Structure 1
Amino acid sequence: METDTATIRVARYRPEKSEKSYLQEYKVPYRKDTVVLDALNQVKAEQDGTLAYRWSCRMGVCGSCGANINGVPKLTCATFLHEYKGRSLTIEPLANFPVIKDLVVDLDDFMKKLVKVKPWIIRDKESPPEEGEYKQSGKELDLYSQFSSCINYLLCYAACPIYGLNEEFLGPAATALAYRYIADSRDQGKKARFPIVHDLEGVWECTLVGECSVVCPKG
């Protein structure tokens, strides 16, 4: 397979050295099947072992490798270098999050929001196993199926202008997961979640800009 060379610019932030971030250029080889994450791995393995970023599955199912690519929140494992041939390619940390180091951002605020919406099945009283399963029809499943696809990529928070202005906003992913359980016929935790979701910083803060849906890998 034919190999080409691309120049990528990667945001660097070394808090132990300076409070200012900067862009560092690297030249990386790439083929038609090379993704941005491959380029970052090549840099770390062969050019600069100090580069910091998150990744795990390399298959678009864990959500760890999100970054702003030319200003757009994307998964580095699902973005091909050849799509940027002839154009500059800048990789920066996800917007709207505090940066810990290079492309690594602090997710504590989101994790607190996630816990607040209680993203698990709540039952008033657990039935013993001998009473059988909590059965659900296909129509009942359809009510929340799309929202159950959310695995917290957090590209939506990086794209959301409201979260960028007000970090108290519950935000897209936490709201989607709250609804996923509220709409679940097996769940009895609506009363516990409603005060969080219907707060001024909950769904009422959303202005329906829709950027969250645009960047979401799950649509």
Structure 2
Amino acid sequence: MAHSAFNRKESRGAHQRLDEGCTERDDVNFLKHTLAFYNPEGAPHLEYSDVKITKSAPAKRVYGGEATAQDKQNKEKANADDMKHVKMEVMRYNPETDDAPHFVTYDVPYDEQTSLLDALGYIKDNLAPDLSYRWSCRMAICGSCGMMVNRVPKLACKTFMRDYPNGVRIEALGNFPVERDLVVDMTHFIESLEAIKPYILGNDRKPSEGPNKQTPAQMAKYHQFSGCINCGLCYAACPQFGLNPEFIGPAAITLAQRYNTDSRDHGAKERMPQLNSENGVWSCTFVGYCSEVCPKHVDPAAAIQQGKAASAQDFVIAMLKPR
């Protein structure tokens, strides 16, 4: 059994008082690891081990806010000299000075790990400080960085420059009004999502009644549709939304179907007017491109077809009900 504080006098060394005859620090006895044990007979036993002394200077600590902008630029420049380069045509538009969008070509360094979002960051930091674009999480979760990459809707954080060694053209997300550069007006998109009431309705279960249980089979009915991150790529891919900006669109219909098939929800009747409307599910011609471009592998096309079936059923029931 070890005692960490047994007989402290044995391990003091340099802590002895000057009046006891110690005129300077005794490093030989002071720098010792000391352990105290009881042997099988119950008598105390002390063991010592030397402490290794290093003369190395402590490593410099670098905290988040200490790196200056110049340090960052110098590092990027040094790294850029050893990297491959690609030509990026980026759409630029300033409503205060431009009559229409135009393209500017930038020479950007990249490696195997450089994402399109990283490349845009390089342009903004080093070549065009006034470049505007949306981004947030960098992990394909927030849905903020949607844009057209060679005319295909993609998330900038999930697109890598290694796949475009011969150059790439970047445009603002298709089918949306452009506000500035790569930033688009998402007002109608947000309003469409809000219109279908994307939350549990009609469930007045109280906490005192316990958890609102759901079987795996019940969850499976809507789980596939719950992965939507509201990035808007499906709207940029949808030809019907391009022709009819009032179409509520794939994401809104998918979200409606997600809640209409949730066993905890009782609000389908409140959502059906939106789905049955002129700009609802029947505006879809089932091209299916919305499902192809979804970065989270949601299937909006399937949700819309299920919505059409629910809409038809709702229409028949309404016709058969006595007035």
1:198 is aligned, of 276, 289, 305, to 276
Report how far residue 218 of structure 1 moved: 1.6
How far, CA to CA, are the matches of 1:73 and 1:175 in structure 2?
Answer: 19
How far, CA to CA, are the matches of 1:27 and 1:198 in structure 2?
Answer: 50
Report how far residue 8 of structure 1 moved: 0.2
What does residue 216 of structure 1 align with? 294
Report how far residue 196 of structure 1 moved: 0.5
TM-score in terms of structure 2 length: 0.66
Gaps of 5+ in 2: 1-78, 298-323
Q: State the one-letter code of the partner of 1:207.
A: T
Q: State the one-letter code of the partner of 2:152.
A: V
TM-score in terms of structure 1 length: 0.97
SS in 2 for 1:144: helix
SS in 2 for 1:9: strand
How far, CA to CA, are the matches of 1:97 and 1:159 in structure 2?
Answer: 11
The Cα offsets for residues 147-204 of structure 1, whole Å up to 9 and x where unpaired, read as: 0001111100000000000011111000000000000000010100011012121111
Report how far residue 216 of structure 1 moved: 0.4
1:149 is aligned, of 219, 223, 227, to 227
Q: State the one-letter code of the partner of 2:285.
A: T
Report how far residue 47 of structure 1 moved: 1.3
SS in 1 for 2:222: coil
Report how far residue 37 of structure 1 moved: 0.5
What does residue 90 of structure 1 align with? 169
What does residue 91 of structure 2 align with? 11
Within a 5 Å distance, the mapping from 1:92-111 to structure 2 comes to 92-111=171-190
What does residue 202 of structure 2 align with? 123
**Runs of 4+ with deviation above 6 angstroms:** none
What does residue 158 of structure 2 align with? 78
Q: Which has the higher contact order (CA 8 A, sep 6+)?
A: 1
What does residue 126 of structure 2 align with? 46
SS in 2 for 1:51: coil
More helix per residue = 2
How far, CA to CA, are the matches of 1:19 and 1:96 in structure 2?
Answer: 19
SS in 1 for 2:105: strand
What does residue 135 of structure 2 align with? 55
Is 1:27–2:103 an aligned residue pair?
no
Report how far residue 113 of structure 1 moved: 0.6
Gaps of 5+ in 1: none
Aligned-CA RMSD value: 1.1
How far, CA to CA, are the matches of 2:84 and 2:214 in structure 1?
Answer: 52
How far, CA to CA, are the matches of 2:97 and 2:163 in structure 1?
Answer: 34
What is the percent sequence identity of the aligned residues? 49
What does residue 193 of structure 2 align with? 114
1:164 is aligned, of 242, 247, 250, to 242
Report how far residue 48 of structure 1 moved: 1.1
How far, CA to CA, are the matches of 1:145 and 1:109 in structure 2?
Answer: 26
Larger Rg: 2
How far, CA to CA, are the matches of 2:192 and 2:116 in structure 1?
Answer: 30
